[in-house]
Amino acid sequence: MATTTLTLQLYFNGEWHDAAQFTHLGDTGAFTEPCIVEYEREFVVAFFGTTDEHALSARYEVDMQPIKLPHWPAFLLDILPLGFAGDRIARVYKDETGHDASHLDLLVLGGANSIGNIRVKEAWELMREKPRVFPEGFELEEVIQRGDAFMAYADENGLSAQATSGVQGEAPKILLAQDEQGRWHADSLLPDHRARAHVLVKYARGNKAEMDYTILRNEAAYMRLAKAMGIRANDDLRWENNTLIIPRFDRAVAFGPQAKHAAPLFWRGGNPVKPSTFPNSTQGDAVVHRFAQETVLSLAGITAIGVQIHHHQVVKLLADYATDPAEEVAEYIVRDLLNLATGNRDNHGRNTAVRRLNGRLELTPLYDFAPMSLDPAVITRSSTWKGLEAPAGRLVPDLNALMDQVAEETGGDANLLSRVKTRILNLGACLEHLPEEAKNVGVEALVFSRACGQYRTVVDEIARLK
């Protein structure tokens, strides 16, 4: 049996640290083959027993005991290039070697600059050896002016491989970072001390039919709508010329003598908090903060692609792991009710993530929230309330039965159930004004009429909540 050992690094306090050894055991390089993950001895001495940003996952506390699994740990699938980016990396690999890329190949080729605070050291070293593309950077307006043709331009000039490392999903995406002169670079290529901002640039998925553009064009307005409905969301997305620019919430830039140790932004109860010790200066070298982030599939330990996770399972995970279970369970449930009200069906387990920061575990801000019921590919809801939707012949679940599931998964915590009910009722009050709010934030009238047809059903169901 072949073995391959890679070093997994974690980023905190402004530096990358060798955290663990990942040893793949198998001949095909598939993620379904056995492996061993073992924290470095010195790392264990420093961080023994922690499950915060110093751990590979909230599931695997820092410990001397090797983690032996019949497949890869689920957190590695979070950093494995999948979808559009994975296909591109695999195609280049086959052109260069004549062989199909295994999952292990993809991890080494694309694990250098992942979402969150984990990377594969060997992947970073391999990327660093490659020629620097556009060392002078480029203006963001150039990206926008080219529209979705920028992906072809990036391919022709060797930029896409360096700008798509670590991204997932069917929509074409690139990761860019802004330097101190306001110019933009592939995120993986710009040294941290020069960074000033980080964005994800997203293009239409599918066959580029008019509806594909309509969906992406309305994603920015949908995010503003979510914030208006009381959801934890980033509302400063920018849409122009078939290009959606999304500020990243797994990155932040800090300055000053305390910058390495003062996380500049985190969420408490849905509100952003800036530590008072964090300086406001933007002069001098920057320190980039990379926040520990993992999908709910990783939190659940599910090592699979395209697998379903039910909502009651996520509720149980949040009850077990979240710092404030009531806040996070409530946030999760109202997000799903808003999905139902606005026609966002693309709710699979990789579209929900948690963040570990400053000793807290909480849901990240909302992402990939769009009118996906309009997608020509006919997207269906992946995560459902078990037994309360399609099998029961319902488009919107019975909320009293849903609350019974929540009670069962959370041990019947009366305070938690009360807070969840309050959030649901508050959402119901907001949804009463959904047509006006949607218009105010820029949701197109055709999109609202075709995607939000169930909002009254959701409002009525909330009114029946006892």
The whole-number pLDDT of residue 277 equals 33
Q: Looking at the chain, which residues constitute the CATH 1.10.1070 domain(s)?
A: 293-463
Burial (CB < 10 A; 0-12, 13-18, 19+), residue 19, is buried
Of all residues in the chain, the percent with pLDDT exceeding 90 is 60
pLDDT tens digits, one per residue of 399-417: 999 999 999 999 999 999 9
Q: How sure is the predictor about 156, in pLDDT bands with cuts at 50, 70 and 90? A: low
Least confident segment among 166-170, 200-204, 261-265, 302-306: 261-265
Look at domain 293-463 and name its CATH class.
mainly alpha
Q: pLDDT (tens digit, 9 = 90+) per residue, 260-318?
A: 665 544 433 344 433 333 334 456 788 899 999 999 999 999 998 888 899 999 999 99
- What rounded mean pLDDT belongs to the chain? 87
Residues in the chain: 466
The 3-state secondary structure of 19-54 reads EEEEEEECCCCCCCCCEEEEECHHHHHHHCCCCCCC
> Which residue pairs, CB below 8 angstroms and at least 24 apart, start in 159-162?
159/133, 159/134, 159/186, 160/88, 161/88, 161/89, 161/92, 161/130, 162/127, 162/130, 162/133, 162/186, 162/188, 162/189
Q: How much is the pLDDT for 281? A: 43
Summarize pLDDT for 68-97 with one digit per residue, the tens. 999 999 999 999 988 777 777 888 778 788
User: Which two tokens mark 401?
Assistant: 């039965």
Residue 309 β-bridge partners: none
Angle at 357 between CA 352 and CA 361, to 5 degrees: 50
Instruction: Give CA–CA dist 211/67, Å, rounded.
Output: 46
**Which range, of 112-121, 138-147, 388-397, 399-408, averages the lowest pLDDT?**
388-397
Cα-atom radius of gyration of the chain, to the nearest Å?
22
> Tokens 């004004």 correspond to what residue?
433
Residue 20 pLDDT greater than 90, yes or no? yes
By C-alpha distance, which of 198, 172, 176 is closest to 189? 176
Q: Residue 3: what are its φ and ψ, rounded to 5°?
A: -130, 140
Least confident of 68-77, 141-150, 408-417, 426-435: 141-150
